[in-house]
Each structure stands twice: as structure tokens, then as C-alpha cells.
Structure 1
Amino acid sequence: MKKQLVIAVAAAGISLASLGAAAYEQGDIIFRAGIATVAPSGDSDPIELPTAPPTVLPGGVDVDNGTAISLIATWMMSDNWGVELLAATPFKHDIDLADLPVVAGSTKHLPPTVSIQWYPRGGMEGWQPYLGLGVNYTTFFSEKVDSELGAVLGDLLDVTSAKLSLDDSVGLAAQAGVDIPLNDKWAFNLGVWYIDIGTTADIDVTTGSGANATVSFDVDIDPWVYNVGVAYKF
């Protein structure tokens, strides 16, 4: 009996949420905001340090998760198709050596992404699931070498200074999401993206003798991005 009551209450809640929920239609603008977490799933090339003989760190680096505020806008080209711009406040990530308990550095990034979205229930009231495919541009800034990596480089290479830089990235992005209506304007939003992000990391070092060297390696970040927030239809 209790189970049947719970099911009935849940069904009633869904029905009430759908009442007065206007359909997405051509010309609508939908603004979404929330909390987004970037969870890297890729890997890194080995890091070869210019010692004699060379010192190789086969695991490369790991990039930690980062969380920021998402700001997303969609313009409905038709009842079923939209164009989305994904933006966010800067994400900050710590970077660790995969083979050693050493923090290598940190970086911030912005991942603006433009996608074409398909709304199978466009023009209909109720829940609005969607799929999207687009292009991502990621720019990195505020890159820093951590003092822990600086100490390792100092021991191995007599490094007195080190500077980290990461190349910008362009790649494909795929997404899925759903807007769950709260009334005719507001909705609860859940979204997920998979983004192809790859970069080349350069660590420019100066040794105690004044010699300069650059350690370069590729990093595939390839994150899953998870977003929880709200949507508002204009």
C-alpha cells in the first residue's frame, strides 16, 4: 500500500510539474545556469627530463577535477533545433605527477563551446530532453609550476626557475541533457558533455649554470562535464 502511495504521489508531482509548462518553440531563448564539474578522463605522454642519461616519468601527469559556474544560452531555430553557447567562470585544475606523490602545477581554463541541439519533444509541453554536437575551444591561462615539482627539478637538473605553458585546444563536443519544467518559465536542468581537449605542455627551465631547456609532452584531457542547474525561457 505504501509503495502504491509513493508511486501515486510521484506521478502526481510529475503531472503537476508539467501543468502550464509551455513548449519550446521557434524563436525562444533559453538561459541555463548552474554548477559544472569538469572531470578529465584522458592521459599524458611520458615526460622525458634532459638528464644524462634521460630520466623518464612514464605515467606523465594527471589532471584533477575542476568546478565552476556554468552560463549557457540556447536560441531555438525551430521547434526541434537550437543553437547553444556554453560558457562558464574559469575552471581551476591541479596537475599531479602520475608516478610520484608530487603536485606538478596548476592551471585555469575557459571552455566556450558552440553546439547544434536536437529537441525531440520540441513544440510539446512537459520534459524537454535534448542531444547536441558542437565545437569546443579551450584556452588555458594562469599556468604555474608547483614548488613540489620545482624541488624535484632542482634535484635532478639543478633548476633554479621553471615556467609552465599549455597550448589552446580545438575539438569536438557531444552532449545530452534534460529540462524538467517547474512552471511555464522555469525548469530544473541536468546536462552532460564529453569534450575532446588535447594540449601540449611546455616546461621552460633555467639551470644554475644559466642553461635553458624545454620539456614538452602531450596531454589528452578529454573531460566529462556534468552540470546541475536551472533553466529560464524568454
Structure 2
Amino acid sequence: MKKIALVMTAGAALALAGAANAQDFTPKAAGTILLNVRVTNVAPDVGDDITTLAGRPTGLKADVSDDVMPTIGLSYFLTDHVAVEAIAGTTKHTIKAKGPATDLTVKQTWVLPPVVTVQYHFAPGAKVSPYVGAGVNYMLFYNDKDQNGFRLKVKDGFGTALQAGVDVATSGRWSVNADVKKIFFDTTATDGVNGVTSKVRLDPWVVSAGVGYKF
């Protein structure tokens, strides 16, 4: 009986704490607009072969550097559980040709990769609210600078994205956010002057942390 009483007392205490917490923060709900400002690391997952235009191997592989930049995510809740998020930000990357005795910078370029996802939030009324999502992105390469005599053209295009994250409510309308996306994007990088090309599978991991505010 003592154990039952202890369990019932602990359950009642947790229920009261949950009720108190529910008054301390604003839950997610249909019609909510959630703005997340994040610090984001974009890490391309590459290593594709560089070939001649005729398809012969050069012994080199493409490499693309990581970058860390601020990004913004804006979500609108269609229902308590379903939201649409648009993510915007831009990063700068260095493209290299690497081999056993080669580490050559080919191009530096900025990338604008807007992502739109549809999300499912498992516990919108809870203080800790995880979610998953899926959607599309568009990779736009701009303000690029060729290096070391190369004239590399990287093709823009569409990709797909998977997403997982969690919002942790702090107080009032504020929250903290952790978010991970995997973007699947293939492109072609071609240098007609030097006669080389590569089908590049960028497939970046996009890892973010930041703060959110509900409107």
C-alpha cells in the first residue's frame, strides 16, 4: 500500500508540475507562426570522381568545404500537429580537386539553398516537442570565383530533404531548437576549358541550433 501511495503521490506531483509548466509556456497549435533563428553548419558529403569530358578517369576526386552561417526558419501550423516550414540562408564553399599528390582549389562559390518541408510535430502541447519532416530544396550557386586557371560551371537544380528536430519551450513564447536535415542533391560541374567534368553528389548534412519565438 505504501508503494501504491508513493506512486500515486509521484503521479499527482508530475501532473501538477505538468499543469504548472503548461501555464509557463505557449504550446504549438493550429495557426501558430514559429520563427527559428539558428546557427547552421552545412557539410557536403562528396568524393565523386573527376573525369575528362570523354569520360576517362583523372585520378582526382571533387571535394567541397563545410561552412557555418546564420539561418532563419519560418513555420506555419496548418493543424496542431502539421506545419510547413521554409528555411533560408546562404553559405560559402570551396571546391577542390584532390588526389594522392594533389590538393588544388578550383572554385569558391556562394550557395543559396532554400528548403521547404512539411513537418509532423508529435507533441505540440508539450514542453519538449520533437518533429520530423520532408520536402524539397533548390540549390542556386552565385557570386563564384574561379581559381588556378579553372572555369568551372556548377549546375543549379532541385533536390529533396529529410528533417528531424526538437523544440524545447523555455518561457512564454520562447523556445530553443535543434534541427538536422539531410539534403539529397546531385549536380554536374564542368570545365570546358580544361576538359574535365564531375557528377557531384553534394548530399549535405545541415545541422542547426537556435532560438524560436511563436506568434
Q: Shared topology, TM-score over 0.5?
A: yes
Match of 2:151 among 163, 174, 192: 163
- Which aligned pairs between 1:5-154 and structure 2 lie closer than 5 A? 20-48=24-52, 56-88=57-89, 90-99=90-99, 100-122=102-124, 124-147=125-148, 150=149
Q: Which moved more, 1:15-24 or 1:173-182?
A: 15-24
1:109 and 1:141 in contact (8 A); partners too: yes
Asked if the contact 1:104/1:146 (under 8 Å) is kept, the reply is yes
Instruction: State the partner residue of 1:182.
Output: 170
Q: Which residue of 1 aligns with 2:189?
A: 201
Give the conservation status (yes or no) of the 8 Å contact 2:52–2:195: no
Gaps of 5+ in 1: 1-13, 151-161, 206-212
**Deviates further, 40-49 or 219-228:** 40-49
Conserved 8 A contact 1:44-1:219: yes
Aligned residue in 2 for 1:225 = 206
Give yes or no for contact 2:50–2:197 (8 Å, CA) kept in 1.
no
- Structure 1 residue 107 displacement after superposition: 1.2
Shift in Å at residue 144 of structure 1? 2.3
Q: Which whole-Å CA distance do the structure 2 matches of 1:34 and 1:42 have between them?
A: 24
- Provide the C-alpha distance between the structure 2 equivalents of 1:70 and 1:174, rounded to a whole number of angstroms: 17
Q: Report Cα offsets for 1:24-74 as digits up to 9, x if no partner.
A: 000000001111111111332323278xxx984333211110122111100
CA contact (8 A) 2:38 2:211 kept: yes
Query: CA separation of 1:19/1:41 partners in 2, compared to 1, >3 Å: closer, same or farther?
Result: farther
Output the CA distance in 1 between the equivalents of 2:106 and 2:151: 11
1:216 deviates by 2.5
After TM superposition, give the deviation of residue 169 of structure 1 in Å.
Answer: 2.1
Alpha-carbon distance in 1 for matches of 2:164, 2:174: 19
> What does the per-residue CA deviation read over 1:162-186, in whole Å, with 9 as the maximum and x for residues that have no partner?
4221111211100011111111211
**TM superposition outliers: structure 1 runs of 4+ over 4 Å:** 14-19
* Unpaired segments ≥5 residues, structure 2: 1-16
8 A contact 1:143–1:164 mirrored in 2: no
2:79 is matched by which residue type in structure 1? Answer: S
Matched residue count: 197
Distance 2:40 2:59 in 1: 31
Residues of 2 paired with 1:114 and 1:130: CA distance? 15
Contact kept? 1:18, 1:127, Cα under 8 Å = no
The CA distance in 1 between the partners of 2:179 and 2:201, in whole Å, is: 22
**Greater alpha carbon shift after TM alignment, 105-114 vs 70-79:** 105-114
Specify the alignment match of 1:191 in structure 2: 179
Which residue type is aligned with residue 185 of structure 1? R
CA distance in structure 2 between the partners assigned to 1:38 and 1:230 by the alignment: 18
TM-score (norm 2): 0.83
TM-score by length of 1: 0.77
